[in-house]
A and B are shown apart, each in its own frame.
Chain A
Amino acid sequence: MRLRRDIQRLELRRYARSLATLADDIKQAEDFPTETARDFCSMVHSGAALIAERIDSAPEDKLPWIGALLGFLSQNLRYPERSRMEHTPWSVIQSTEAFIQEHVGTQCNFIIRPQWRYNYSISEDYVSKYKELFDSLTPWISAADLGGRIGDVANKRIYCISFPRVEKMNILSHVNWGHEVGHILGSVWERTHFSALWASEEGTILARARSLLPTGTSSADANLKTAQFLDKTMMLTKRAFSEFISDAVGMHLFGPAAFASLAEFSCRYELDHNPAESNGYPPWRYRLRRIGNGSVVPITLGSRILWHRKLVRYIQWNRQWEALTKDTTDQTVIASDHGCQEAYRVVEVHWPDVWRDVLQQLDPALRVPYDITSRYAAVGALIDRIGRGLPPNEYGRWPDMQPALIADIWNAAWACKVTRSISSADDYEDHLRVLFQLTLKAIEASHVQMTFGKKRIPDTT
């Protein structure tokens, strides 16, 4: 109907213009912790303005696709809007971005924002996704058109990391950002390797799908069921790889602190859910077993003597979870679902190669995992500082103090959290409040010391 199409075009133009204005308004806010949110707003503004300018020449049959694209851009604006300082633990945003960039490259930029859902998550890179989406509408509009409008932003990668709003100040829980860094490395791996891996396995999985069809199934029904089985199995495989890579990267970066934060997080959820019924997420017991087995820290006579008492207890606390992962209910659940069974077979067969490829993305110096057995002295010193009510931002003897590594800070703080003897719930929460404040301060201060410290000390030799 002509009238409907005319109105559709008019409304799309109005929608695009409003969106461009809104993006510009959000960009004007002065309290973003970094420039990334403004870059993101510029990209949305430019994309929407471009669409508004060209809507008259848009092919009529493409209008629904253009509407979908605008809807997507519009939703994305909530990320920069919620990343303003008042909504975030702003004092650690710069240090967090610097730490992550060290591992994934300085072209990666981050919007860190709270979400009401109790969840940590990270988006894929929005710049490349916007380019792909614009290219889907060529020749009417293209990634090159968008790139021409957004300048340097076109060469960046912008990710959005979300954390649970209620945990804004819970810096110990934010160790999970290490897992989110893993998703960045995982998505690069997926983009460059997963298609080939899937192509190599699809024939086997297709044969399995066909073998599961009841005799007498019509051809049409057989094709649909087979297609659904393949799609489901691929989703399960991708999700399992994604989470396992991220867990492993978290452990690689932060060692026991990554395990502790993940184990604590898992307490909110069922341990043995079927991945096929939970958007592909692997069972928690399976995840804890994988990362626990891959990172056993031995407690020796030497460590009992040399290590800080709280550090020994913290490592013992981590190892107590082994009792839970010896149970194999999760594997029974996976084995009971044909799609899960295939997906986890593929994951386990390919895991060593996948992990090798993921590590290759890191600078050679960063391919060595965090090892608490070689950091015990620094972590012990930081535990002592926390015990004295001081931020664990540095260690050593004055004036030769060393700024602490973020991984050491987090492990020292976790050691203090899990070894505190608590007399009441109030006591526990008061203790944590102080611990969070000291840790937040330490992460900020050590970042400042590492960035500016050496430059400020005059060389008197």
Chain B
Amino acid sequence: MEGPNQGPMKDLIESSRLFEASSRMQTAANTLRLLANRISIDDALRHNLEWVGHFLEEVDLASFGRSDISADFAVSATEARPFFYEALANIDNLLKASGIENEPELHGFLTDTFSVLISGGGNAVNAAKLSLAALLLERFATAILMRLNTMPPPPSRASVALEMAI
């Protein structure tokens, strides 16, 4: 509803759902670290893991279309998806160092991660994979927060010419 090239944080009014997703993913990342260290978690953290799991299933294109698209998540998942794949690309070296070197292995890692999340931490995976999943979620959460919390890039010539709105 606002014109182009608004200042920092302007997007928060339109992206409160993304802010929520980002905050929840940060919490989920910490929770996975607790699980990796065999520390028990309470119901609130378990429910948060479930929420994040369903959200990520919506985000991941590999699982797209397997079940009905949730209208609740459709918009925020579409907004968040580019950050997810950027985060995944940013931890590429760590993935390889953990033995995840090809597409099927990556798919397996994501499937395991979603499974742990959706089960509220019930489905066991080894500690190393939990830590790696935590790192992915943290990168994803931070990338979204930075997008919402930083100055937009300088306007291009085209957008200056068209600065308008109504």
Residues of A within 8 A of B (CB): 61-62, 64-65, 67-68, 71-72, 75, 117-124, 126, 129, 132-133, 135-137, 139, 176, 179, 183, 187, 194-196, 198-199, 202-203, 206, 219-220, 223-224, 226-228, 230-231, 234, 242-243, 246, 262, 265, 268-270, 273, 277-279, 281
Contact = CB atoms under 8 A, between A and B. Distances in A.
A237 B17 CA distance: 18
Given A202-B69, A278-B162, A121 B85 contact: no
Given A61-B26, A132-B17, A242 B79 contact: no
Interface residues of B, number: 56
Contacts of B86: 224
Contacts of A269: 161-162, 164
Nearest to B88: A220
24 contacts: A61-B26, A62-B26, A68-B148, A72-B9, A119-B3, A119-B163, A121-B1, A121-B3, A124-B14, A129-B13, A183-B1, A195-B74, A196-B74, A206-B61, A220-B92, A223-B88, A224-B82, A224-B85, A227-B81, A230-B81, A231-B79, A234-B79, A269-B162, A277-B159
Contacts of B166: 119-121, 176, 179, 243, 246, 262, 265
B81 A126 contact: no
Contacts of B34: none
Contacts of B39: none
A264 to B, nearest CB: 11
Contacts of B69: 199, 202-203
A72 B12 contact: yes
Contacts of B70: 199
B97 interface: no
Contacts of B23: 62, 65, 136-137
A16 to B, nearest CB: 16
Interface centre among A68, A137, A231 (most CB of B within 10 A): A68
Given A121-B2, A123-B1, A132-B17, A281 B81 contact: no
B20 interface: yes
Contacts of A223: 61, 85, 88
Given A64-B145, A195-B74, A220 B89 contact: yes
A251 B156 CA distance: 32
Contact of B65 (A120, A203, A279): A203
Interface in B8-48: 8-10, 12-14, 16-17, 19-20, 22-24, 26-27, 30, 44
Closest 4 CB pairs of A and B: A227-B81, A279-B4, A136-B20, A132-B16
A323 B161 CA distance: 24
Interface string B68-96: 01111011001101101110110010000
Contacts of B74: 195-196, 198-199, 202
B7 interface: yes
A227 B60 CA distance: 9
Interface in B98-123: 103
B131 interface: no
A75 B148 CA distance: 14
Given A187-B1, A270-B161, 10 more contacts: A118-B164, A119-B166, A132-B20, A202-B78, A219-B103, A223-B85, A227-B61, A265-B166, A269-B161, A277-B162
Contacts of B17: 132
A129 B61 contact: no
Nearest to B164: A269
Given A75-B9, A220-B89, A226-B61, A231 B3 contact: no
A227 B2 contact: no
A281 B3 CA distance: 9
Interface centre among B23, B71, B156, B163 (most CB of A within 10 A): B23
Given A269-B164, A281-B4, A133 B81 contact: no
A277 B22 CA distance: 27
A278 B149 contact: no
Given A198-B75, A226-B61, A227-B61, A120 B165 contact: yes
Contacts of A227: 61, 81-82, 84-85
Nearest to B16: A132
Nearest to A227: B81
A136 B10 CA distance: 17
A126 B13 contact: yes
B93 to A, nearest CB: 13
Contacts of B161: 269-270, 273
A68 B61 contact: no
Contacts of B84: 227
Contacts of B65: 203, 206
B4 A71 contact: no
Contacts of B89: 220, 224
Contacts of A262: 166
A123 B89 CA distance: 35
Interface centre among A62, A132, A196, A278 (most CB of B within 10 A): A278
B2 to A, nearest CB: 5
A274 to B, nearest CB: 8
Contact of B71 (A135, A199, A279): A199
A268 B165 CA distance: 11
Contacts of A219: 103
B14 to A, nearest CB: 7
Contacts of A279: 3-5, 159, 165
Nearest to B60: A223
B13 A124 contact: yes
